[in-house]
Amino acid sequence: MDFLTSRPQHVRSGHIRSTTVTLNTGVPQGCVLSPFLYSLFTHDCRPMYGSNSVIKFADDTTVIGLIDNNDETAYREEVQHLATWCTENNLLLNTTKTKELIVDFRRERRGSHDPIHINGMTVQPVTSFKFLGTHISEDLSWSINTSSLVKKAHQRLFFLRTLKKNQLPTTILLNFYRSTIESILTSCLTVWYGSCTVAERKAMQRVVKTAQRITGTPLPSIEEIQRKHCLRRARSILKDSSHPAHELFSLLPSGRRFRLPRTRTSRLRNSFFPRAVSLLNSSAPPIHS
């Protein structure tokens, strides 16, 4: 525990050094152990009910509740349990940044949903929310997300044109494109691209074509990149028997193809796992798990 308590720390700037202060909270910034320690100390922040899930990514925590027969008891108690856990562990839950997104595809929504309250404050209900850089909408469409990515990528094209006007070599233009434009368009690509509309895909591809004209070299399409990322992710899951989704990739008795999940809606059919299985079946021979 010496790593966490009674840790001397000072700041050095050139030849000037501040006085040393002894710290008993936090961990050194940039330390490799920091993420592991955070996961260890927040391990007991788990759901109380089987119908709920608690998703943790660094200091972002998401509570997902499956509400059946309009019974929100388990979901509401889960939210209050999280608020209590934060208080007991001396963590400040920022209610002003907390949002509630309701996904409901029933033809007729029965009754109204009363707002969630945390520490006496009302949690704002929203129709779309930016979660870890990706916009998620209540109808699970991706128009807001793709519009945001395309707009941001178009802004970067200005700098690519500037580099071209200054006659920089093609290698630098390509590096700039991949690191500042392509990386934006392909952020979390395997999650949302399969459910994009034709118009949304064309809008993204237009950015690629514009960059292609500027650089003067062929560039991979978003479709090609998505296929490559999807296959790479699927094969990574196949090789990792401890992955939570490993069992979703099961071979048929023939051992040549994977079992395709049953899907009743196009929304599920176009999601990652069914698409990944289809791509694996149409690509090289499967990797036996």
Q: Whole-model pTM?
A: 0.80
9-to-4, 28, 36, 76 alpha-carbon distances in Å:
12, 9, 21, 42
Number of Cα atoms under 13 Å in the Cβ half of residue 49: 20
Domain boundaries, the chain: 52-126, 143-219, 226-282
pLDDT tens, residue order, the chain (289 aa)? 566 677 888 888 888 999 998 877 777 667 777 777 878 888 888 999 999 999 988 778 899 999 888 888 999 999 999 999 999 988 888 888 999 999 988 877 666 778 899 988 999 999 999 998 999 999 999 999 999 999 999 999 999 999 999 999 999 999 999 999 999 999 999 999 999 999 999 999 999 999 999 999 999 999 999 999 999 999 999 999 999 899 999 888 888 889 988 888 888 999 999 999 999 998 856 555 4
> Which secondary-structure segment (H or E) carries 13?
strand 12-13
Of 252, 255, 249, 258, the closest CA to residue 281 belongs to: 258
Do 197 and 143 touch, CB atoms closer than 8 A? Answer: yes
Q: Which two tokens stand for residue 2?
A: 């010496």
Separation between Cα atoms, residue 233 and residue 229, nearest integer Å: 6
Do 276 and 262 touch, CB atoms closer than 8 A? Answer: no
Q: Which two tokens stand for residue 107?
A: 């033809």
The count of other CB atoms within 10 Å of the CB of residue 107 is 4
φ and ψ of 213, to 5 deg: -65, -35
- For residue 232, the model assigns a pLDDT of 94
